[in-house]
Amino acid sequence: MGWITVVLVLDSDGSLALQRALGLATWLLLVIALRAEPVPVRVQTAVVVVLATAVEYTFAPALGAYSYRFDNVPAFVPPGHGLVYLAALCLGRTALVQRHLRACILAVLVVGGGYAIYGVTLAERTDVLGLFWFCCLAGFLAWGPSQPLYVGAFVVVTSLELLGTGLGNWAWAERSPLDLVSMGNPPSGAAGGYGWFDLAALLLTPVILRWWTGRRATTREVLDSR
């Protein structure tokens, strides 16, 4: 969280060259951070980075759902998604969240729900997408595979979206692609949208690990037969 905050502050008024340097440093930090994590977490993080990067290039330059300062996808964004996932995961591991999980979930629902209701009632820009994404977040908290992770994601993603849009690193369009719904800047329930990456990471990782284990076993058998 600290590094991402520094990156956003520096990028808010920096050059494209600085943005690229920040991207390289963020990749390096992500690799270092992952060295201390078990293999499943490394795979989860890789899944998030791949999916989030695909979404970034689809919805920013291609569809214009939001735009960055240089009308690109900054070099620090793909590895930044990995750090966001790790930050949410680490926050969910804290003693505070583990001991008071029900209270934390209630707090997320109250604060997030209030923010989403504000977005469709009193905000200058009506934020229907934010309300929808908050409903997704509520569903993840109720039935998702890791409630602590989603508690952490709410704190991390919401704070970074407010910081990034506040500093001018990126800005959301008033309407979604295909003009389906209105959007805030940022959408209030952004953590719920991000939660789909988390869900994919948690569900796909066991499948990937089983495939990789089977592949290694098959390769070993072939080598032994020779």
pLDDT of residue 47: 98
pLDDT tens per residue, range 32-52 = 999 999 999 999 999 999 999
pLDDT of residue 93: 96
Tell me how far apart the alpha carbons of residues 189 and 187 are, in angstroms, rounded to a whole number. Answer: 6
pLDDT of residue 217: 67
Q: How confident is the model at residue 82 (pLDDT cuts 50, 70, 90)?
A: very high
**Whole-number CA gyration radius for the chain:** 19
pLDDT tens per residue, range 85-142 = 999 999 999 999 999 999 999 999 999 999 999 999 999 999 999 999 999 999 999 9
Tell me how far apart the alpha carbons of residues 120 and 142 are, in angstroms, rounded to a whole number. Answer: 23
Q: How confident is the model at residue 219 (pLDDT cuts 50, 70, 90)?
A: low
Question: Residue 123: phi, psi to the nearest 5?
Answer: -65, 150
The answer to whether residue 199 scores a pLDDT higher than 80 is yes
DSSP code of residue 70? T
The answer to whether residue 207 scores a pLDDT higher than 80 is yes
Count structural domains, the chain: 1
Q: To the nearest whole number, what is the mean pLDDT of the chain?
A: 94
50 φ/ψ sector (left φ>0, alpha ψ -120 to 50, else beta): alpha
Tell me how far apart the alpha carbons of residues 41 and 43 are, in angstroms, rounded to a whole number. Answer: 5
Determine whether 35 is exposed, middle or buried from the number of CB atoms within 10 Å of its CB (0-12, 13-18, 19+): exposed
Average pLDDT on 146-154 reads 97
The answer to whether the beta carbons of residues 68 and 170 sit under 8 Å apart is yes
pLDDT of residue 94: 97
Residue matched to tokens 């997320």:
108
The 10 Å Cβ neighbour count of residue 92 is: 21
The answer to whether the beta carbons of residues 206 and 185 sit under 8 Å apart is no
Domain that holds residue 216: 2-225
In 3-state terms, what secondary structure has residue 152? helix
- β-bridge pairing 66-68 and 170-172: antiparallel
